[in-house]
Amino acid sequence: MIRFLNALVLPFLLLVLWILLNDSVAPGDIAIGALLALALSWALHASRLRPLHARPRHPLVILKLAMAVAADIAKSNVAVARIIILGPRANASPGFIDIPLRIKDPHALAALACIVTYTPGTVWADYSEEHNLLTLHVLDLQEEALWLNIIQKRYERPLLEIFE
């Protein structure tokens, strides 16, 4: 019974998303949304598009990480706005930094990529799977040690706890 209910979660979420995107609860829209939700869910499970499933653990660590990321995004927005407003007077020094990583789980790497990409002023530039090395572009790269600390301790450590 629980397995059956779990199988209905994705189609239900897809249907809700369809209704929200269409901004309509007309019977025709609900019928089309239900058909699409069921078809997409079946295609996902039948084709094995996701052979490796995530098994996140430690919900409190997830919450702490989300709060830290939200705070960093807010700070970064202010820093990038300052650089844009001041222009050349901001003395920003963009650059690339290579950061060695310990995480290998693809879900943890995807989460780290999202965190880096969501944070203004940083871009995930490259990842070497062979060397487990992240290349990060930073809009204002003043101190490399600071960025190493942020990525490795603030983001990577909790992601290791969550996914590995």
Domain ranges of the chain: 2-47, 59-163
Backbone angles phi, psi at 117, to 5 degrees: -70, -35
Q: In whole angstroms, what is the distance from residue 154 CA to residue 57 CA?
A: 17
- Mind listing the pLDDT tens digit for each residue in 76-121? 999 999 999 998 888 888 999 999 999 999 999 999 999 999 999 9
pTM over 0.75: no
Q: In whole angstroms, what is the distance from residue 97 CA to residue 24 CA?
A: 47
Q: Find residue 97's DSSP bridge partners.
A: 136
Q: In whole angstroms, what is the distance from residue 125 CA to residue 109 CA?
A: 13
H helices of 23-125, in order, are 27-47, 59-86, 106-118
Q: What is the pLDDT of residue 7?
A: 72
pLDDT over 70 (residue 15) = yes
19 within 8 A of 29, measured Cβ to Cβ: yes
Q: What is the pLDDT of residue 129?
A: 92
The predicted model gives 56-82 an average pLDDT of: 94
pLDDT over 90 (residue 6) = no
Q: What's the maximum distance between 2 C-alpha atoms anywhere in the chain? A: 64
98 within 8 A of 141, measured Cβ to Cβ: no
